[in-house]
Copies of this chain bind each other. A is one copy, B any other.
Amino acid sequence: MSEAPAGARRRAEVVGLGLIGTSVAWGLRRAGWFVTGSDLRAERAARAEELGAIDAIGEDLDAELAIVATPVAAIAEVSQRLLERGGRPNFVVTDVGGVKGELVSALGHPRFVGGHPMAGSEQEGPDGADPELFHGATWVLTPTAATDEAAYATVRQLVSVLGAEVVALAPVHHDEMVAVVSHVPHLTAATLMGLAAGASVEHASLLRLSAGGFRDMTRVAAGDPAIWPDIFRDNASAVLVALDGLIARLGEARRIVAEQDRTALVELLEEAKSARRNLPPRVPRAEDVVECRIPVPDRPGALAEVTTLLGELGVNVFDVEIAHSAESEGGVLVLTIARSAAELARKALAGRGYRAAIWGLS
C-alpha cells in the first residue's frame, strides 16, 4: 500500500461495514486513499480495522466522498444525514443499494449519486470482504438531470479505482431491469421449487427425477431470504410490472400447449434460444471472448484435467459454468476464454480426447 502522508491522500468515509462496504473501503485504501468507516455493530468496524480495510473507525469531516453501504432500509436516512452534515464543500454521497428509483427521488440532491455494484458473495460481514471484489464487475450509476457534474465525476472515479465498469441508467430504468433479470427470476425460482415440493409431498424421493436443468433453475432459491423483503418493498412497482409480464407470457404459453400451436411453440423456444445464446458474457468485452463448450462425463478428474490443461497453456478462463441438459446426468463444461486462444484450446483439448465446440467465433 502506498502510505503517502495523510494530507496528500484522497479521503473517503464508508458507512456500513458489511461485505460490500468493507470491500469498497479496502479497495480504496489499497489504491492509496485514506478511508474511515463505521457500523452500528461495533465489532464489524473493529474487524474491518483489524483486516486493514480502513485507516480508522469513525466519521471524517474532511472526506470528499461517503459511500453508504447499510441495509437498504437505512440508506435514505443515513444519506440525508451525511448531506446535511457540515464538512468539505462539494462533499459527495453515493450508495450501493439494489433499488434506486424512490431513493434517488426522495433525496433529490445534486450531490447524491445512486449506485449499485453488480457483485457480491454468499458470505456476510467484513470477513467475507475482498478488496478485488469489484474487478471486472458492472457498477450501475443513476445520475439524473439534477445531478452535479463534478459529483458524478467523483463517483465515476470511485468505481474506476475499484476496477469496475460504469453503466449509467435512469433510476427507474435500473429498477425495471433488475426486476426482470433478478427480482422476478428469484421469486420464480422459489415458486417453481415450491410447486415441485408441493407436488411430491408424498413422494419426496421422486425429486430424484429432477435433473440438471431443474437444479440450475432453482439454485438461487437455496440462498438466504433475509435481503429480499426490503427489495420487494422498495421495488414493488417494477416487480409487479415484470410479474404481470411473466404471468401474461405464461398464459400465452398455456394457450400454445392447450391448442397445440406447434408453430408458436417453436417460435417461442427459438427466440429464447437465440436471446440466451446472445447474452453478453460476464467478464471482458463480448467481442474479445468466445465460449468453449466441452462435453464432460460425470467422472472425477475430467474437470481438473481440462482446467489444468488450459492453465498450462496460459489460456485465461474468465468464467466457468457447468451446463446440464434438461434431463441429463452428464454435463457440458462452458468456459469463457479469449477469442485469440480459441484455436489453441480446441486443439489441445482434442489431443486429450475432448470435443470442444467454440461458440461466438462468427
Interface, chain A (partner B; CB < 8 A): 98, 118-123, 128, 130, 132-133, 135-138, 140, 167, 169, 173, 176-178, 180-182, 184-200, 204-225, 228-229, 232-233, 236, 239-240, 242-247, 249-251, 253-254, 256-258, 260, 262, 265-266, 268-273, 275-280, 282-283, 293, 295, 297-298, 300-301, 303-304, 307-308, 311, 316-330, 332
Q: Whole-angstrom distance between the alpha carbons of A245 and B191 in the complex?
A: 10
Given contacts A211-B182, A247-B250, A273-B223, contact A136 B298 (CB under 8 A): yes
For A307, the closest partner residue in chain B by CB is B304
Distance from A54 Cβ to chain B, minimum over Cβ atoms (Å): 22
State A1–B240 Cα separation when bound (angstroms): 61
Least CB distance from A248 to B in Å reads 9
B208-A138 in contact (CB<8A): yes
Minimum-distance CB pairs A-B, first 3: A225-B269, A190-B272, A304-B307
Complex Cα gap A188–B223 (Å): 20
Chain B, residue nearest A283 (CB): B298
- Give 17 new A-B contacts, CB below 8 A, not counting A121-B328, A221-B269, A222-B323: A118-B327, A120-B327, A181-B207, A182-B326, A185-B217, A186-B326, A188-B217, A189-B213, A189-B217, A196-B275, A197-B272, A215-B282, A219-B276, A220-B325, A229-B262, A240-B258, A304-B307
A219–B297 CA distance with the chains assembled, in angstroms? 19
**Cβ of A279: which chain B residues have Cβ within 8 Å of it?**
207, 210, 215, 218
Within the complex, what minimum Cβ distance (angstroms) separates A270 from chain B?
A: 6
List, in ascending order, chain B residues with CB within 8 A of A293's CB: 122
B265 and A254 form a contact (CB under 8 A): no
Q: Is the CB of B228 within 8 A of A265?
A: yes
| Residues of B contacting A233 in the complex (Cβ-Cβ under 8 angstroms) | 260, 262
Pick 22 A–B contacts, CB within 8 A, sort by A: A118-B329, A120-B328, A120-B330, A123-B295, A130-B330, A133-B330, A167-B209, A177-B200, A190-B271, A191-B246, A192-B246, A195-B246, A195-B249, A205-B280, A207-B280, A213-B219, A216-B220, A222-B277, A228-B269, A247-B254, A298-B318, A307-B307
A214 touching B182 in the complex, CB below 8 Å, given contacts A275-B197, A280-B205: yes
Complex CA–CA separation, A329 to B132 (angstroms): 11
CB distance from A245 to the nearest CB of B (A): 5
Give the distance in Å from the alpha carbon of A236 to the alpha carbon of B192 in the complex.
18
- A277 / chain B contacts, CB cutoff of 8 Å: 222
A243 to B249, Cβ gap below 8 A?
Answer: no
- The residue from B128, B135, B304 contacting A308, defined by CB atoms under 8 A apart: B304
Contact yes or no, B322 A320, CB < 8 A: yes
Which residue of A215, A236, A300, A327 has the most chain B CB atoms within 10 A of its CB atom? Answer: A327
Closest B-chain residue to A212, C-beta based? B282
Q: Output the least CB separation between A323 and chain B (Å).
A: 6
**Minimum CB–CB distance for A47 against chain B, Å:** 15
Nearest-neighbor residue (CB-CB) of A245 within chain B: B195
Q: A254–B250 contact, CB under 8 A?
A: no
Of A123, A190, A271, most B-chain CB atoms within 10 Å: A190
CB distance from A165 to the nearest CB of B (A): 9
